[in-house]
Amino acid sequence: MPVWLREHSWRQSLTAVYLSLPLRGARATAANIFCSEQYLKVSIPPFLFEAVLYAPIDDTNSTAKIGNGNIFFTLYKKEPAMWDSLTLANADKEKLQHLRENAVLEAQEKAKEETKAKKVTKQENKKYALEATMKLEEAERKRIEDLKEKERQKVTKELELWKNQQKDGDKYKSIQAKEELHQEKEPLKERQNEKLNKTRIPNEGSSKTRLKSTRGRGSCSIFSQDLREEQLPAPRAAATIKVNFTPRVFPTALRESRVAEEEEWLHKQAEARRIINSDLSELEDLKEEEKNPDWLKDKGNKMFAMGDYLGAVNAYNLAVRLNNKLPLLYLNRAACHLKLRNLHKAIEDSSKALELLTPPVPDNENARVKAHVRRGTAFCQLELYTEGLQDYEAALKIDPKNKIIEKDAEKIRQLIQGTMQSS
């Protein structure tokens, strides 16, 4: 139940009502005051003050001053008239309710309209700002254009001036030229019939008779021109200079960005030629199947199984000549070399096989393990135990479950420690 604030005091003039409301210690803010045309409410829980006003007021212009434990309302009447009392006396509950609701609705509508109005003004402001900036930019652009235009015009004018000078100079020349044409035509035809001559161009002879060559250049130039013409040296003695070019295979021009591509292309061409050449020279007498690297590999495997290591190596050699990109060939050849105790060759072949077995994927795990083991064995047999151990450990890394490799690795470690202790 709210506590009603009833101790208010008011006075009025013709146009305004002054209402003073003591707050009994409660603090008020603007949010606690609700005012519409005919209804005034102050609600500071638990305190409540409401008044249904005698006559409508202009609520937009009315003010409320909060201070000193008091709210002082200045309400401007819509119609200047003296009120009998502040509130409507005989207002029953229903009417009050009705009025209250109306008031609330009115307030809401007003709020809505206010926001709409605000929005509209904002839009307009934005538009205005945009237009203003556009205008400024236009002005700037125009200024630059104007400057450029001025330049252009100035330059064009100068050009015209200069051109007119030239024209006048040319007028004289054209007159001269017409006279000379007649002189020239005959010597021209004469010269065409001659095969070899070193005579000067006929014009040079007639130049001396000319009075004005160019306008405004003074007579000194004419004389100097004539003198120069007389002093022209004879044509050079013919000679040849031999030239060597920086070698280039391609007939196209050299471009830096293409050099890498070209190198690669040449490399591939060279490789292909090598293979073709080797094929052509020795393998003409081989059967068809013997030119197939896979068939050769199988043959090699069979010979290895039978113990014919040299034969196997031969088969692998031939297969490698035909296709040097198959890692298994090198792998198997390494095994042969191990059996043949060609340890260095075994190392070489295992290394080559490993090279070709990049990238290290699960698919070629098996092959890589074998390559490492074979290389390790070769190293150990050469007594390069540390390198051998390295290879065994690499093999273990790929295949940690292989007991044989583990045992062998252990053995090598012992050997190394043994030699270290003894030395």
Partner 1 sequence: MSAVLGLERPQVVSHVQQALSYTVFDCKWVPRSARLMCLGSAARGTGIIQLYELHGARLEVLREIEKPKPIKCGTFGATSLQQRYLATGDFDGNLNIWNLEAPEIPVYSVKGHKEIINSIDGVGGLGIGEGAPEIVTGSRDGTVKVWDPRQKDTPVANMEPVQGESKRDCWTVAFGNAYNQEERVVCAGYDNGDIKLFDLKTMSLRWETNIKNGVCSVEFDRKDINMNKLVATSLEGKFHVFDMRTQHPTKGFASVSEKAQKSTIWQVRHLPQNRDIFMTSGGSGSLHLWKYEYPAQRSKKDSEGSEMGVAGSLSLLQNVTLSTQPISSLDWSPDKKGLCVCGAFDQTVRVLIVTKLNKI
Give the footprint of partner 1 on this chain (CB under 8 A). Answer: 140, 143-144, 147-148, 151-152, 155-156, 159-160, 162-163, 166-167, 169-170, 173, 177, 181, 184-185, 188, 192, 195-201, 203, 207, 210, 213-214, 221, 225, 228-229, 232-246, 248, 252-257, 259
Measure the CA–CA gap between 201 and 52, rounded to whole angstroms.
123
Rounded to the nearest whole angstrom, what is the least distance from the CB of residue 274 to partner 1 in the complex? 23
Rounded to the nearest whole angstrom, what is the least distance from the CB of residue 219 to partner 1 in the complex? 15
DSSP structural state of residue 255: -
Measure the CA–CA gap between 295 and 297, rounded to whole angstroms.
5
**Tokens, residue 210:** 């000319």
The answer to whether the CB of 376 falls within 8 A of the CB of 383 is no
| DSSP-derived 3-state class of residue 323 | coil
Which is it for strands 39-44 and 16-22: parallel, antiparallel or unpaired? unpaired
Measure the CA–CA gap between 70 and 62, rounded to whole angstroms.
17
Rounded to the nearest whole angstrom, what is the least distance from the CB of residue 334 to partner 1 in the complex? 44
**Tokens, residue 160:** 């015209």
138 versus 363: smaller Cβ distance to partner 1: 138
Rounded to the nearest whole angstrom, what is the least distance from the CB of residue 238 to partner 1 in the complex? 5
CA angle 384, 390, 391 (to 5 degrees): 95
Rounded to the nearest whole angstrom, what is the least distance from the CB of residue 183 to partner 1 in the complex? 12
Q: How far from 118 is each of 35, 45, 59, 61, CA to CA, in Å?
A: 21, 32, 19, 18
236 versus 401: smaller Cβ distance to partner 1: 236
Measure the CA–CA gap between 400 and 380, rounded to whole angstroms.
20
228 versus 325: smaller Cβ distance to partner 1: 228
113 versus 170: smaller Cβ distance to partner 1: 170
Rounded to the nearest whole angstrom, what is the least distance from the CB of residue 153 to partner 1 in the complex? 10
Bridge partners (DSSP) listed for residue 48: 4, 43
20 versus 176: smaller Cβ distance to partner 1: 176
109 versus 149: smaller Cβ distance to partner 1: 149
Which of 93, 77, 73 lies closest to 33 in space, CA to CA?
73
Half-sphere exposure of 39 (CA within 13 A, CB side): 18
DSSP string, 30-87: GGGEEE-SSEEEEEETTEEEEEEBSS-EEEEEEEEEEETTEEEEEEEESS----S-SB
90 versus 197: smaller Cβ distance to partner 1: 197
Rounded to the nearest whole angstrom, what is the least distance from the CB of residue 178 to partner 1 in the complex? 8
269 versus 419: smaller Cβ distance to partner 1: 269
Q: Where would I find the H helices in 259-402?
A: 259-282, 293-306, 309-322, 327-339, 343-356, 365-381, 385-398
Half-sphere exposure of 197 (CA within 13 A, CB side): 12
The answer to whether the CB of 353 falls within 8 A of the CB of 334 is yes
Rounded to the nearest whole angstrom, what is the least distance from the CB of residue 218 to partner 1 in the complex? 13
**Tokens, residue 169:** 């100079």
233 versus 362: smaller Cβ distance to partner 1: 233
Rounded to the nearest whole angstrom, what is the least distance from the CB of residue 277 to partner 1 in the complex? 23
> In whole angstroms, how large is the CA radius of gyration of the chain?
56
65 versus 142: smaller Cβ distance to partner 1: 142
Rounded to the nearest whole angstrom, what is the least distance from the CB of residue 272 to partner 1 in the complex? 22
Bridge partners (DSSP) listed for residue 307: none
Rounded to the nearest whole angstrom, what is the least distance from the CB of residue 264 to partner 1 in the complex? 18
242 versus 287: smaller Cβ distance to partner 1: 242
DSSP string, 341-364: T-HHHHHHHHHHHHHHT-S--GGG
